[in-house]
Chain A
Amino acid sequence: KNQVEQSPQSLIILEGKNCTLQCNYTVSPFSNLRWYKQDTGRGPVSLTIMTFSENTKSNGRYTATLDADTKQSSLHITASQLSDSASYICVVTQGSSGSARQLTFGSGTQLTVLP
């Protein structure tokens, strides 16, 4: 069964600190992995996408890594800001194309950044 597990479930850090969120998946065959940011009460917004051949990708203060051998990804946030407080969702796409039934969602990590 395809699964995406995220850890920790929640995280509280102080403004300016760094943090790392984890995503482990069992989706096969693998196509790509996306990290989404979801602000409270809003729809998720894509942060990064990584394919099989990529092992790191940055988007400003967000850096995602992918280890396709161990089926693990991480999202590192540098110099956190209050606006980083949100839920971060890992989504893995199965195969090379197809329907959203081939998308497997993690349950998210709720990040709270305190002043």
Chain B
Amino acid sequence: EAQVTQNPRYLITVTGKKLTVTCSQNMNHEYMSWYRQDPGLGLRQIYYSMNVEVTDKGDVPEGYKVSRKEKRNFPLILESPSPNQTSLYFCATRGGGGNEQFFGPGTRLTVL
């Protein structure tokens, strides 16, 4: 079954404690991206990756890092989380014609 998985699904942490949200896909898609979703603001892109070892900033990259060492994985790293990073995070891949994106189930992050 084609899918995008994220872990953890829920996370409560404290300010400054480094964390990583993992994302993995089994569709062999080259393109992967991270979004955050906040009430009234819709989905906003954080970072994206066109291929292995190729990453670039999206619209709201501040406070985040990513890496793409393998095609299937695209972890999101928060080196020093702050309360304004409390949000719902989605990983997505893209493949095929029409730019359809396949989203993961989401990670709800709370930073206290």
Contacts and interface: CB of A to CB of B under 8 A. Distances in A.
Nearest to B10: A41
Contacts of B56: 99, 101
The secondary structure that dominates the B interface is: strand
Given A100-B45, A107-B40, A108-B42, A43 B105 contact: yes
A105 B103 contact: no
A103 B58 CA distance: 11
Contact of A107 (B42, B90, B106): B42
A105 B43 CA distance: 6
B68 interface: no
Contacts of A43: 4, 90, 92, 103-106
Interface of B: 4, 31, 33, 40-45, 48, 50, 56, 58-59, 90, 92, 94, 98-101, 103-106, 108
Contacts, number: 60
Contacts of B40: 107
Nearest to A90: B42
A76 interface: no
A41 B107 CA distance: 9
A11 interface: no
B100 A46 contact: yes
A103 to B, nearest CB: 7
B45 A101 contact: yes
Interface residues of A, number: 23
Interface string A40-51: 011111100101
A93 B97 CA distance: 12
A21 interface: no
A75 interface: no
B104 A100 contact: no
Nearest to B104: A43
A40 to B, nearest CB: 10
A89 interface: yes
Contact of A42 (B48, B58, B106): B106
A26 interface: no
A57 B40 CA distance: 28
